[in-house]
A and B are shown apart, each in its own frame.
Chain A
Amino acid sequence: QKEVEQNSGPLSVPEGAIASLNCTYSDRGSQSFFWYRQYSGKSPELIMSIYSNGDKEDGRFTAQLNKASQYVSLLIRDSQPSDSATYLCAVQESGGSNYKLTFGKGTLLTVNP
Chain B
Amino acid sequence: KAGVTQTPRYLIKTRGQQVTLSCSPISGHRSVSWYQQTPGQGLQFLFEYFSETQRNKGNFPGRFSGRQFSNSRSEMNVSTLELGDSALYLCASLDSGSAGTQYFGPGTRLTVL
A residues in contact (CB < 8 Å) with B: 31-32, 34, 36, 42-46, 49, 51, 88, 90, 92, 97-106
Contact = CB atoms under 8 A, between A and B. Distances in A.
A100 B56 contact: yes
B45 A101 contact: yes
B17 to A, nearest CB: 24
A45 B88 CA distance: 15
B12 interface: no
A88 B33 CA distance: 17
Which among A31, A32, A51, A100 has the greatest number of chain B C-beta atoms within 10 A?
Answer: A100
B43 interface: yes
A78 B99 CA distance: 29
A92 B107 contact: no
B48 A100 contact: yes
Contact of A101 (B31, B102, B107): B102
B25 interface: no
B50 A97 contact: yes
21 contacts: A32-B99, A32-B100, A42-B106, A43-B106, A43-B107, A46-B101, A46-B104, A49-B99, A92-B100, A98-B55, A99-B33, A99-B55, A99-B102, A100-B33, A101-B92, A101-B102, A102-B45, A103-B35, A103-B44, A105-B42, A106-B42
The 3 closest A-B pairs by CB, nearest first: A103-B43, A99-B100, A43-B104
A43 B99 contact: no
Interface in B60-76: none
A87 B69 CA distance: 33
A104 B41 CA distance: 10
Given A42-B106, A44-B90, A106-B42, A97 B101 contact: no
